[in-house]
């Protein structure tokens, strides 16, 4: 059974269409990723799904209940973890959790127990009575997620929860999300980190320019690219000159250049790499490093949008 169903979501801000006909569904226990660069429309999409932002068109249901900016009943089914840390700095973690627990209607006798459980899950059991302005960034991030988990929602929406987080906290957050998926919670996870989407998500939608470009499991998406590999060249000298020189190599599917690096999408990197290095030498550009990456979601994104995920 699908916990979330959304279809035809549209949102425009004046002339800018931020989200254009976005739709997908998530089953119980499934983790679904929205993968796209900054400004792709991820946050706008989930704001409409969470009932925070009014959609210009489209419909959202969670656990069979319609979600709009005026809905109340259905919102109990959603746990929302915004991208920015959304906690009260002058309250303790326990007070933050108690406040939101009351808003979500958790019975008083259950709330105290549930707060202890959540504090344990997010690793703040020993710091629950400290004011949150005394917390590190990672601890705040974990509490930010804890508030979303508190009322045991059917659908947990996480908007780029690992942005600006230290590696240790990041790993802890990813492990928590994996546990949630296994516990039967439907998870909607937005990110612009390809590795997170590959690690966590059962299915991924690639979103760019407000549109979903492709959707499926990792395997399904990679098949869209075929057996294309990505060759990353570290260069000393003009990357632009190398890109121009490589135009003569017909088997290259696409080339993108950034400062000091050139990213080349090819079918069968091992056969083509010597020729590419020859062209680089002839063009007078020194190659300082070579990396061959087999097809992944990054390659899929590049294939679908013609630009790198980090752009």
Smallest gap, in angstroms, from Cβ of residue 148 to other proteins?
A: 9
Q: Give me the sign of the Cα torsion angle 133, 134, 135, 136.
A: positive
3 touching other proteins, by CB under 8 A: no
Choose the stretch contacting other proteins; rule: CB under 8 A; options: 72-80, 178-186, 209-217, 263-271: 72-80
CB nearer to other proteins: pick between 89 and 137: 89
- The distance of closest approach from Cβ of residue 186 to other proteins in the complex, given in angstroms and rounded to an integer, is 16
If binding is defined by CB under 8 A, does position 51 make contact with other proteins? yes
Q: Choose between 158 and 231: whose C-beta lies nearer to other proteins.
A: 158
In the chain the beta strands, taken as DSSP E runs, fall at 2-13, 16-27, 31-35, 57-62, 65-66, 78-81, 155-159, 186-191, 203-208, 211-216, 228-236, 252-258, 261-267, 286-293
Q: Indicate whether 193 belongs to the interface with other proteins (CB under 8 A).
A: no
90 binds other proteins per the rule CB under 8 A: yes
CB 299 within 8 A of CB 235: no
| Interface with other proteins (CB under 8 A), residue from 70, 109, 183, 219 | 70
The SS3 of residue 161 is coil
Selected range binding other proteins among 83-91, 116-124, 268-276, 286-294, rule: CB under 8 A: 83-91
Residues in 139-168 that interact with other proteins by CB under 8 A: 147
Closer residue to other proteins (CB): 173 or 269: 173
Binding of other proteins by 118 (CB under 8 A): no
Query: In this structure, what are the phi and psi dihedrals at residue 242, rounded to the nearest 5 degrees?
Result: -65, -40
How does strand 203-208 pair with strand 211-216? antiparallel
Least distance from other proteins to the Cβ atom of residue 51, Å: 6
3-state SS of 16-61?
Answer: EEEEEEEEEEEECCCEEEEECCCCCCHHHHHHHHCCCCCCCEEEEE
């Amino acid at each position: 059974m699908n916990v979330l169903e959304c279809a035809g979501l549209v949102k425009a801000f004046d002339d800018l269409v931020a989200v254009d006909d976005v739709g997908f569904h998530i089953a119980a226990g499934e983790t679904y990723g929205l993968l796209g660069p900054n400004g792709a429309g991820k946050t706008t999409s989930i704001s409409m799904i969470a009932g925070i932002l009014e959609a210009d068109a489209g419909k959202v249901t969670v656990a069979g209940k319609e979600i709009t900016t005026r809905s109340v009943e259905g919102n109990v089914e959603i746990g929302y973890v915004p991208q920015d840390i959304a906690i009260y700095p002058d309250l303790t973690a326990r007070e933050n959790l108690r406040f939101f627990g009351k808003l979500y209607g958790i019975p008083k006798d259950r709330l105290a127990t549930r707060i202890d459980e959540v504090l344990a899950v997010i690793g703040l059991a020993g710091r629950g009575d400290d004011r949150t302005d005394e917390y590190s960034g990672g601890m705040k991030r974990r509490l930010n997620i804890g508030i979303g988990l508190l009322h045991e929602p059917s659908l947990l929406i996480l908007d780029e929860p690992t942005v600006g987080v230290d590696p240790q906290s990041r790993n802890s957050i990813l492990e928590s999300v994996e546990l949630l998926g296994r516990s039967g919670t439907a998870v909607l996870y937005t990110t612009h980190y390809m590795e997170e989407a590959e690690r966590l998500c059962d299915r991924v939608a690639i979103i760019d320019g407000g549109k979903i470009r492709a959707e499926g499991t990792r395997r399904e998406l990679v098949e869209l690219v075929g057996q294309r590999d990505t060759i990353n060249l570290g260069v000393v000298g003009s990357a632009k000159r190398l890109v121009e020189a490589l135009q003569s190599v017909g088997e290259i599917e696409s080339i993108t250049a950034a400062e000091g690096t050139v990213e080349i999408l090819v079918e069968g990197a091992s056969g083509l790499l010597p020729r590419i290095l020859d062209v680089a030498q002839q063009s007078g550009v020194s190659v300082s490093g070579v990396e061959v990456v087999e097809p992944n979601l990054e390659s899929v994104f590049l294939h679908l949008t013609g630009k790198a995920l980090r752009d």
